[in-house]
Structure 1
Amino acid sequence: MLTALDDAAVGQWCRAAVEALSDFRARLDDLNVFPVPDGDTGTNLLHTAEGARAALDEAAPGESTWAVVARGAVLSARGNSGTILAQLLRGLADQLADQPPADGPVLATALRKAAESAYTAVADPEEGTFLTVARAAGEAAVTAVDERRTALADVVGAAADGAHRALEGTPDQLAALREAGVVDAGGAGLSLVLDALVRTVTGVQPVRPALARRAHRPHDHVHTPHQPPPGPGSEVQYLLADADETSVARLHERLAELGDSLVVVGVDTPTGREWNVHVHVADVGAAIEAGIEAGRPHRITVTPLAPVPPAAPAPGVRAVVAAVHSEGLAELFRAEGARVVVCDAGGITEDDLYDEIVAAGAQEVVVLPDDAGLHAAASRAADRAREAGREIGVVPTRSPVQGLAALAVADPQRRFGDDVIAMAEAAAATRWAELAVADQEALTSAGRCHPGDVLGSAEGDVVVIGAEFGAVACDLLDRLLSAGGEMATLVVGPDEALGDAVCAHLSSAHPTVEVVRYGGGPGSLPLQIGVE
């Protein structure tokens, strides 16, 4: 049992937190209903913690572990909860970096001050959220010290228990949580992080009740980053360099006028101070322009918020028909507003595609075959539909990731021909790759393969052969990204651990690349990759 948190213990806690958030990522995503029900809180928290871990792995000898963890978290923070977690870690670092190992009383004071700094970083703090849970943890830790329970184990146990009690009370503080029958997702993530601290200090994992699942209603829609922006606004996030405190203060005021869910967190880096800026706005351009006025924004991401569930196409309305090879992919494409034809034991035929085009009831239909082997069938089905008086465009997508990229730029307000061209250009700009298992001996571009070998293919050509999925996937991604790329889209099959390993590799080896991860890929293709 530890009596103080030294650098080694802080690093151990960081890795334990990544493990806990990875295990519960999907459950936290499912809980996410506030401030917008975009289903990404667990993913964002995990990405932030993985950034801290990656920074530790790359840290120079002699650097304070607290400072390294804070820097890695701030520079990798994603989403509202991820940015607040980064601020909490930075608040701890402000108190504990370059100091003797923290005992119970010192840690208690640092936890309380870190929670206060997190409140300060948020423009309009809400109760019943991550902030409430953080404050309760700090107060419980200080109370334990006041009651002369000063051992480190007592303090971290009190903090974790206080956080959990506050978490259970969040539905009483926020109507959105109460209506959905869940606790706050960000607060639940912080509770997991503090339980990981207890395990680091004591060696014992606290026993907690299972997190209740969200009661999905018929019109609930899980947000995906490719969804076009029909909702009330977008999440804008970027890192800001070359800015002074005065400029950042003006930026904070400007963004507070433009939107909400504003969090600005700064951290010192070897090249100077940088800020992670997060805000929800209706005017994306104005939010980015405000950053340009303040300094140099980079790693800019824009994610639509609260997309409207797509309605079934009515006569005269444009529709998209996509061919997919699993029910999981079917759910993704339906969420994007597409109609789908799902492959069964007999495969997808020309008649299947034609029937779905007709069933769409739309005068204009875009077809996404998403498989090179279906291009001919899609063209024949389109010709038949044209003979019936419909206007049909076939975008020659060869992978689901290209189909998702095409859907991301679809705009029913454009002329039909222009829309088809824009979708085709987006698909063509997306390099695609996939993993498969060899079922026979063959000579490939990467050499001879044998049954059971893992094959990594790019644009349909085998470029990597190996024995392990994870190693082949990481090698394949490194090759794809060597030619450049800003975003990697991953469609993961049944093995979620493979997805976790690939995301961890990307976070460490390619930290500037935005990663969008989906589940639901077919078992025959453990991983499908798109690089834009």
Structure 2
Amino acid sequence: MKYTTLSGQLLKEMLINGAYELENNKEYINSLNVFPVPDGDTGTNMSATIMSAAEEIKAADDTIESVANAASMGSLMGARGNSGVILSQLLRGIAKKLKESDEIDTDVFAEALNEGVATAYRAVMKPTEGTILTVARESAEESMLYAQEIEDFEDFLVKVHEKAEETLSRTPDMLPALKQAGVVDAGGKGLCLIYLGMIKRLQGKILSKDEGTSIKQEVKVDKTSVISNEIEFGYCTEFFIKTKNQNPDDFKNEILNFGDSLVVVGTEELIKVHIHTNRPGDVINKAMKLGELSKIKIDNMREQHESIISNESEENFHEKNSVSLDKVVIETEKEYAMVAVAAGDGIVNILKDLGVDFVIEGGQTMNPSTHDILDAINSVNSNNVFVFPNNKNIIMAAEQAREISDKNVIVIPTKSVPESITSIISFNPELSLEENISEMNEVIGSVKTGQITYAVRDTVFNDVEVKEGNYIGISAGNLINSGESLKETAKNLVDSMVDEDSEIITIFYGNNTSEEEAFEVEGYIQEKCPSAEVSVNYGGQPIYYYILSVE
């Protein structure tokens, strides 16, 4: 069947089909990771992002405007990792253009693709060519030419998809790291799959999610650091308002005095509301005057709190209460609060001891979404919140959370736990906020981080030959060495990082490494650098046998 225009219903089905095509192939996208490490997560992040959009789209009315708004809001709040954030910005720009139209032809769709590219490029501080941005841009630019000649949407999107694949095939020539690894850009391939899924719908193929491949990316929270003795507002209330021409800030002002931890974000057509209140009915009644409500969720936080302090088992606690990131608040308001992302119970405890108020347990393979980070920000009782992403793939999601938060959020762009520890230690309550921000950002550069994990495939990278199953050492984003012995790989990594100027060296050993092995590495470092202060800490982190910090 030929389609020269898209209705809201067809647009909805095409976007959902695109989401399923990516979801069902996310492990293939993960396999395109440049480094041969077991934490390739581009496919997982992109899939989580667009599946979040798909869930909102399913609940939307069958109008172009509603579908576009749902795609924009769902992807914004569900965005995980850099690839997910970029994808959410592409969808945001596309939605902005589409919702202006009562009817979508190929000309309008081409304009929307280019608006998406413009929005995504504005969101990235230093765009890198050879990534999803390039694939999106070149296919969008060509789509303007295709639209002049092609009216049928299937033929049009086939051409767009072909151009996207052609650009994707050239990404290794644009990024040497891709060529060395022998892969194409994972994010770009994800975008191609979304196009492919949309085409399949136009061809009459309705996709569904493959069994056993659904995303289950649980972000854990260290609850003991956020328990209060008394909870002033007992009901965590969340919902969406489907409305028309309503300003989210106006509604926010209406319910400002109904409770705390208030978040009202969205567009003039779709508003997300979160509030801790003792009067959820009053909040909902006011919201109903603006439009239709969906995804209403009310949790009794007092019951949840009592469950925690009565030492219920973790399993029973989750089963009874399904506590999410924003269900418990800190009692005493603070001038400054800190939120960090980390993996491993040892590292979580270290961060807590340093004064971090809220730990989102995540990192590699488990990137928290924009919504997760926003909830964490709103769960600390301070208007000034420092966020430490501790992973280069989480920084953009943290920045996106900052933009939509009504608090003063300061994202310290830490790419590792050692960077955040040094930055947190440098915080001085006697200094002004501006002075602390400057100092905390500056000290990041004084830390070198090394990591040891294992290879998931054969490759040659940075002239280092790697065999599947080998231990590999990584530092400063580079593959340093590879070997069959964990001890020797650790020693070689130390040799590349430690020099006569090294003063403080810290070893964090993971959940698959023994304390005895860690102290052997410490002994080697002490012999190599006798004047340095060397310490061993249990990190408990998955995937990485060691994380090394050198200052």
- TM-score normalized with structure 1 length: 0.45
